[in-house]
Each structure stands twice: as C-alpha cells, then as structure tokens.
Structure 1
Amino acid sequence: MQILLTGGTGLVGRALCRHFSQQGHSLIVLSRDPGKVAGLCSGARGIGSLEELNVTDAVDAVINLAGAPIADRPWTKGRRRMLRESRIDLTRNLVDWMSRRDQAPGVLLSASATGWYGDRGEEQLDETSAAPVADFASQLCQDWEAEVMRAAELGTRVACLRFAPVLAADGGMLARLLPVFRLGLGGRLGSGQQWMPWIHLDDLVRLFDHLLSNDSCQGIYNACSPMPVRNAEFTRILAQTVRRPAIFPAPAWLLRLALGEMSILLTGGQHVMPKRTADSGFDWQYPELSAALQQLLHKPA
C-alpha cells in the first residue's frame, strides 16, 4: 500500500512512518522541508506540494496530521489565523486534490482533537455527544472535521480520530512537563478536578493501523484511553513515577493571566470515553495511566 501523510515529520507522524515502513508500506510525506523527510520519517519520500504527485503515483490511503501546534503560544489574531489555515485550509486543499485524481484514495484518516467537546465539566462524553457551544478550540475542530468529511462524497472511506493529549517520552505534553516534575516543582493545574483524557503514543499508532485495516470503520473515533483521570490524579501519578513530590499548584487565575483564552486547554476538561473505538474491536495496550508512564519513563534504553 502507498500512504500519503501530511504532518508526517511531527511526533505522531514519525511514529506512524516507523510503524508502516516496518510493515512494508510505501510512504510519501508532504512537508515544507521535503529534503529532511527521509531522515526523519524512516526513509519516506518527501514532497513539497501535492502537485508533485502525478497520475502514475498511486495513493491508496491518506493520513492527515497537519496542523500548527495549538498550545505553543498565545492565541493572538495572527496565531488563530495560522491555526485555522494549517488545519482547515490545508485539509480543504487536500480533499480538493483527491477529487481531481482519476481514482480517489480509498481511505482518509484524519486527526482532530478531544477539544472538539469543549469544557464540559462532569458530563460523560463519547462520539455520539452533541457539539458544545463552541469556544475557539472547539470551533477549530468542528470546522476541521467538516472539511475532512467532504472526502466521503468521493467514495473515500473517512475516519476522524479525536486525539487526547498524546503521551510520549520524547515529545508532546509529557516531554514539556518532565523537566518541571523531575525538579519537584510540578503540581495540579487550577482546581485539579477537571477530567483529563490521554493516550499512549503506541496505542495511537495501533489505532491508526486498526482503522486503516478495517473497511467497516468510518466516522468519528475518540483516540483516548478508556480510563481518563482528573488533573490532580494525573499530577500525583506522574510525580510518583519520577519519584518527586508535586506540591506547587498553578492557580486558575494565574494561568488565565499568563495564557489568556488558551488557558482553557489546561483548566477545562472533558470526561471523554472512546465508545465507538472500543465497539470497533480495538484493544488498548496501555489503558491505565500508571502503567503507561512506567513504560515510557522507565523502559530499558
């Protein structure tokens, strides 16, 4: 199978490239710096634009991961525009390109985020839950998914994965938290009572493989552990795993002062359950947080 990836040089994309190349699939990665793709993405072919692919370059599947990081900097007007362009505009262009192919790719798997659900307090959520009154992050996900789903009109099987924060030792949220927690300076965020979905990187890769391999899988899938925790519990378990105390909470007012509207990513919560994911037959390797962190932080070198 030949797979086209957008956003393939990021944390998840690199892991997917390793996985699918080991299975013998051929990989093409759309990147702003195609010369670096082979080194970063397990020998994948790098392209700088979709127009570099001609009709003889068969594409059997597309995995769409592209999107500027949402939590790297405050949501200024310019940053909001970049976040939308890097997700919505790119996805629109991708689906338009698929529509111009003599034969559209058979399957499109696309990233979204559990931020789609907004800050929902104690409400238990799954893939059938109604959309919230949207904040910026939620509306971004809703508009992104709308562009992805246009591909179904081409006869392409489409699945959207709503990512929870991805746990990996060498990137993402966990890599940013570790230096603070290893110094014993970690603590809960806000009240600590907000629900916090999460997923181990290996399980996310396995979920992509599962959805790609099963022709009956289409629609929305929550890419998260079936055992979400509250932020205070996440903090306690992470501190315990690195054998340090966690006694320095960050008050909600301070986070709002420092981050503005973006603070909702830290103080808001979603009690998200992966119902359709479980119903599809997917089985988690790391459903429980303590075991997931132990494997990531104490695995043999």
Structure 2
Amino acid sequence: MKLLLTGGTGLIGSALIEALWERYQITITTRNPKKAIRRFGKKVHAVRGLEEIQDISEFYAVINLQGEDIFAKRWTTKQKQEIEQSRWTITRQLTERIKESSQPPQVFISGSAVGYYGPQGDEPVTEHTVVEADDFAHHLCAEWERLALAAQSERTRVCVIRTGIVVAEEDSALQQMLPPYLLGLGGPLGSGEQGFSWVHLDDIAGIIEFLLEQEQCRGIYNGTAPNPVKQKKFSACLAKVLRKSHFMRVPAWVLKLVLGERSMMLLEGQLVLPERTLQAGYEYKYPEVEAALRACLLPSS
C-alpha cells in the first residue's frame, strides 16, 4: 500500500519511516529530495511538494506532520505568520485534494499539539475537555485541526494527534535541556508547578502507526504519555538519571527576558491525559518518565 508523508525528514517522520517502510511504499515531501534519498535510500520516494503528486487517490493513507519549528525563533509577527502558514497551507491543500478526489485516501492523519489546551495549571485535561483559551498556541492548533477535520467523510477517516513534548536519544527537545544539567546546574523552570506533558519518540510514532491501522479510530487523540508530571518533577527526574545535582531554579522573569512570548510554552503547561488513545487500545512502551529518560540518555544500560 502507498502512503504519503509530509514532514518525513523531521524527528517523528523519520521514526515513522523506519517503522513503516517494509509494509508501505512511502512518498515524502521535502525541500531537498536528493538529501532525503541519501538519508533513507530505497525506503522512500521523495518529491518537492504536492504539485508533483498528480493523483492523491493512489495513496491508501496520508500522514501530515509538516510545520516550522515553533520554538526555533522569537515570535515576531512575521515568525508567527510563518509558523501558521507552514501548518495551515499544507493541511488546507491536502484536505482540498482529498475532498476533490473520486477515490480519496482511506486515512488522513494530521498533527496538532497540546498547545491547543492553553494554560491549564494543575487541572488534568483529556480530548473531551472544553477549551476556552486565547493564546497563540491555541489559535494555531485550533485552525490546524479544523482544516484537517474538514476532510472527514464516509470514505476518509481523519485522526488528529495532539502531540506533547517529544523525548528521544537525538535531535529532540530533551537535548536542548541538557547543558545546565550536565554542568550540575539543573533545576525547575519558574515555579515548576506547571504541567509537563511528554511522550517518548517510540510511543508517538507507535500511536500514529496504531491509528493508521485501526479502522475504528477517528477524531482527536492526545499523543502524550499516560503519566504527565509537573515540570519540577520532570526536572528532578532528569537530574537523577544523569546523576547530577538539582538545586538551581530559573526564574520566570529570566525566561521571559530571553525568550519573549515563547517563554509561556515553558511557564504555563498542561497535564494532558491520552484518554481516547488508551481507550482505543494503544499500549505504551514508556508510560513513566524515568524509564523514558533512561532509554533516551542511557540506552546501553
């Protein structure tokens, strides 16, 4: 069966390719097809964009993970627009192609993020939680999801995944957190009381694969581990795994000064529970944060 994957060279997309290439003929969209082929070899067919896809009906499924790194640059007005359009434009195009097709793909899986929930303090939230947020991350995700869900029909089932903070051995947010801990200067961010909804790379890739192959699954699913923690607990656990001290605290005002509006993603979190993901039957490899961190940081132990 053929599968179209946008964002295939990213962290999650790359893990998916490794998991699926033996059972699916995978086409990825990328700005540099030659580089992608050097990386993945015969595991993928690479094209520059949807304009090179003549007929989307040739694909059994479409998985949409494309989007500008939300944390890479300061949130100027221009950067916010780039973050939005990098997600909204491709999702709109895919939905239009699916709806126009006489034989559309049977499955459309599209990304989103736990930023949809906005600041929630220490109150756990699930896919059923009614959200009344008014921040950039919520509006970004809400429109992203609306565009994807518009492709839903009797012939195409749509799943939207609200992904948490992904931890992995390489190239994830975890590696960006490490330097102060390795120097023995780790500690909570701000109050440390904010929710920290995380997921191991193997599990977010596993959830997407699970939803791809479970015909009864459609709608919103949280792509997070079943045991979210407060940020101070995640921080303490990270220090424990690294066998480093944990006594420094980064004041909220420092993060706001350095990161600007982006600091809210670190200072105002959520405790997101994957209720529908668990009910659907997905079994987590890493449900607990310490085991996930050990797998990422001490893989040979």
Counterpart position of 1:107: 107
CA change 1:250–1:2 in 2 (3 A) is: same
Deviations along 1:187-208, one digit per CA (max 9) or x if unpaired, are 1100001110100000111111
| Aligned amino acid, residue 180 of structure 1 | P
3-state SS of the aligned residue for 2:5? strand
Distance 2:38 2:94 in 1: 24
Partner in structure 2 of residue 189 of structure 1: 189
Identify if the C-alpha distance between structure 1 residues 105 and 68 changes in structure 2 by more than 3 Å, giving closer, same or farther.
Answer: same
Tell me the residue number matched to 2:161: 161
Per-residue deviation, residues 100-152 of structure 1 (Å, max 9, x unmatched): 33311110111100110000112220000012222001110001000000110
Q: Which residue of 2 aligns with 1:66?
A: 66
Instruction: Report the Cα distance in structure 2 between the residues aligned to 1:57 and 1:44, rounded to whole angstroms.
Output: 18
Per-residue Cα deviation, 1:254-296 (whole angstroms, up to 9, x for no partner):
1112222211100001111111111101111100011111111
1:28 alignment counterpart: 27
8 Å Cα contact 1:8/1:41 also seen in 2: no
Q: Return closer, same or farther for 1:108/1:191 CA change in 2, 3 Å cut-off.
A: same
Native 8 Å contact 1:159 1:220 kept in 2:
yes
Q: Is the 8 A contact 2:221 2:277 kept in 1?
A: yes
Q: Is the 8 A contact 1:126 1:274 kept in 2?
A: yes
Q: Secondary structure at the match of 1:152?
A: coil
* Contact 1:227 1:288 survives alignment (8 Å): yes
Residues 129 and 41 of structure 1, relative CA distance in 2, 3 Å threshold = farther
Query: Which residue does the alignment assign to 2:36?
Result: 37
- Separation of aligned partners in 2, 1:18 and 1:108: 20
**Cα drift, residue 300 of structure 1:** 2.2
SS at 2:58's partner residue?
A: coil
Normalised to the residue count of structure 2, the TM-score between the two structures is 0.96
Give the corresponding residue for 1:277. 277
Aligned to 1:205: 205
Q: CA deviation at 1:245?
A: 1.0
Taking the aligned partners of 2:57 and 2:93, their CA distance within structure 1 comes to: 18
Counterpart residue type for residue 116 of structure 1: Y
Normalised by the length of structure 1, the TM-score is 0.96
With over 3 angstroms needed to count, the CA separation of the structure-2 counterparts of 1:18 and 1:263, relative to structure 1, is: same
Name the CA distance, whole Å, in 1 between partners of 2:40 and 2:182: 30
Change (3 A) 1:194 1:96: same
Q: Deviations over 1:217-255 (max 9, x none)?
A: 000000111111111110110011111112221111111
Please give the alpha-carbon distance, in whole angstroms, between the structure 2 residues aligned to 1:151 and 1:139.
20
Question: Does 246-255 or 69-78 show the bigger shift?
Answer: 246-255
Pairs within 5 Å for 1:9-20: 9-20=9-20
Correspondence for 2:251: 251
Separation (CA, whole Å) in 2 of partners of 1:57 and 1:156: 11
Aligned AA (2:25): S
Any stretches of 5+ residues in structure 2 without a counterpart?
A: none
Q: Give me the whole-angstrom Cα distance separating, in 2, the residues matched to 1:212 and 1:282.
A: 12
Following the alignment from structure 1 to structure 2, what is the Cα–Cα distance between the partners of residues 41 and 275?
34
Kindly tell me the number of residue pairs found equivalent between the two proteins.
Answer: 300
Contact 1:14–1:40 (Cα < 8 Å) also in 2: no
Write the distance in 2 (CA, Å) between the matches of 1:53 and 1:102.
15
Corresponding residue of 1:76: 76
TM-fit CA distance, 1:57? 7.2
- Residue 98 of structure 1: CA displacement? 2.1
Match of 1:224 in 2: 224
How far did residue 154 of structure 1 move? 7.0
Contact 1:55-1:102 at 8 Å conserved across structures: no
What residue in structure 2 maps to residue 139 of structure 1? Answer: 139
Q: In structure 2, what is the Cα distance between the partners aligned to 1:40 and 1:14?
A: 10
- Structure 1: runs of 5+ lacking an equivalent: none
- In structure 2, the partner of 1:288 is 288
C-alpha RMSD over aligned residues = 1.5
Q: Distance in 1 between matches of 2:134 and 2:158?
A: 24
128-137 or 160-169, which deviates more = 128-137
Q: Partner of 1:262: helix, strand, or coil?
A: helix
Q: How far apart are the structure 1 equivalents of 2:57 and 2:292?
A: 39
